[in-house]
Amino acid sequence: MFPVFLLVLGLSGLAASIVSWFTEIGCRSEIEQAEPAFAKRLFRSTGDQIIFGTGPVRVWTLFFATAPTSIRSSIHLLRWVCGAQLLVFLAFVGCIIGMALSDALTQ
């Protein structure tokens, strides 16, 4: 039997990815206009996203670089949205690992 919570987490991850993607698109223009140098460090090019299969935001720059004061609210919003997406993804992976371990231990 397929666990329902795994399906719910998977659908939540899909919804979180869609919300994250639209938030990143919305904040991108504001950040590029206010701080073009920081925007180059924060956002990946479209070619990198297609070739390497990555998202539009560099997570390391988003969470650990000091944001300029003029765009601090946009960076704060991006941090919350991307952080929530990462937590849902980790919960999904944790459930899969937990299910695999419980099956292995019961055999």
In tens, the pLDDT along 5-18 reads 778 878 888 888 88
The residue segments making up the domain with residue 41 are: 4-106
Give the model's confidence band at 53: pLDDT under 50 very low, under 70 low, under 90 confident, else very high: low
Mean pLDDT value across residues 80-89: 88
Mean pLDDT to the nearest integer, 47-72? 82
Tell me the pTM.
0.79
**If 0-12 CB within 10 Å is exposed, 13-18 middle and 19+ buried, where does residue 101 land?**
exposed
* Angle, helix 4-34 to helix 72-106, in steps of 10 degrees: 160
Contact call for residues 45 and 58 (beta carbons, < 8 A): no
Q: Considering its fold, how many domains does the chain have in total?
A: 1
| Helix, strand counts (H, E) of the chain | 5, 0
Angstrom distance (rounded) from CA 91 to CA 96: 9
Cα first-last separation, the chain: 17
**CA–CA separation, 38 vs 65, rounded Å?**
9
